[in-house]
Amino acid sequence: MQKNITARYPSNIALVKYWGKYGNQLPCNPSVSLTLQKAFTETKLRISEKREKGTAVAFFFEGKPKKDFGERMLRFLKAQPEFAGLLTNFSIVVDTHNSFPHSAGIASSASAFAAITAAFLKASQTEITDFKQKASSLARLGSGSACRSFYGPFSLWGKLTEIQGSSDQFAVPLLDIHPDFRSMRDTILIVEDAPKKVSSSAGHALMNNHPYADARFKDAVKHCGELISALKHGDFSSFISITEREALSLHAMMMTSKEYYLLMRPQTVQIIEQVFQFRQETQLPLCFTLDAGSSVHLLYPASIQEQVQGFWANGTDKGIKSFIEDESGLGGMII
């Protein structure tokens, strides 16, 4: 017997940032994200009868074995009782590939853990009343941001009084979205090819005993409420100020932690200033966000795509190495 399952799940970009965690992968503050569409991970499981004793899972990333990736995935899978039956009784080959290049400023752990969780959950054939919620809750244990990739175009992870059913354990979709926000673009401007300097886990840990932690967590709660209201009312002005302030707050936390570090490059700052200038000159709702890296995510509604295109078309003068054009999506699927 051989059974194949393929899961394709997207990455997401946080607008209100998750930065700081406690307990078993629980967030110190709620976060809101935009789900991407073209930046996804595809994970294929080839499941067959197991002959040998012990766990038999082989991991391939982009067609090749990749030790650290395989070890992290296996640790995650083994820690979930839901997957114990599969791991005990079957031999599994896991083939994973990303639609986007490595170190592109796209959270690959978000799409990777969303895809592997969905694939294993589907394969485990347990009775599940809400597949997405269960998958979101499990994927969170692999990488926090992964739990937001199951819904789109916007999702919320973390308990927020305004949103019924929201939880620190899993993400929920934001359902009340103004038509103007239903079709968003995210153009990612890549300014360096270097891999991540500091892992997210190490970064989160630096929020323990951070002098500004309490103020940061309170600010994020407030920003989630305000952003959700902006998304509901089609309020681009609030959307822009919250999103940009969040991006800069995330980097401010990194710059002021005990072991401080700086991820923005001169080109990052230059692009940010050009976004401000573009907005002042055109009055168009273009804004930026940053992940834990030097790449700049340009966010704007699809309706102004043509006007914004000129902004990065001549990228060399901004020091842009390459760019990826993505857009909001509705989450992943088993294909």
- Which residues of the shown chain bind ligand DP6 in the complex (CB under 6 A)? 14, 17-19, 25, 31, 107, 109, 143-145, 200-201, 204, 250, 291-292
Q: Which residues lie below 8 Å from residue 201, measured CB to CB, with a gap of 6+?
A: none
What span, in angstroms and rounded, lies between the C-alpha atoms of 69 and 98? 13
Question: Which CB sits closer to ligand DP6, 139 or 320?
Answer: 139
The minimum distance between CB 180 and ligand DP6, in angstroms, equals 24
Question: Which CB sits closer to ligand DP6, 47 or 250?
Answer: 250
What span, in angstroms and rounded, lies between the C-alpha atoms of 19 and 58? 32
The minimum distance between CB 277 and ligand DP6, in angstroms, equals 26
How many Cβ atoms sit within 10 Å of the Cβ of residue 305? 14
Provide the b/e sequence for 275-291 (b: ≥16 CB within 10 Å): beebbeeeebbbbbbbb
Helix, strand, or coil (residue 47)? strand
Handedness of CA 200, 202, 208, 214 (dihedral sign): negative
Do 234 and 228 touch, CB atoms closer than 8 A?
no
Tokens read off for 260: 């401080």
Pairing assessment for the beta strands 56-61 and 90-98 based on DSSP bridges: parallel
Question: Which CB sits closer to ligand DP6, 235 or 291?
Answer: 291
**In whole angstroms, what separates CA 203 from the centre of its chain?**
15
Do 184 and 329 touch, CB atoms closer than 8 A?
no
The minimum distance between CB 144 and ligand DP6, in angstroms, equals 3
The minimum distance between CB 125 and ligand DP6, in angstroms, equals 27
How many C-alpha atoms does 205 have within 13 Å on its Cβ side? 6
Distances (CA, A) of 204 to 147, 209, 310: 16, 11, 36
The minimum distance between CB 290 and ligand DP6, in angstroms, equals 8
CA nearest neighbour of 302 among 275, 329, 276, 327: 327
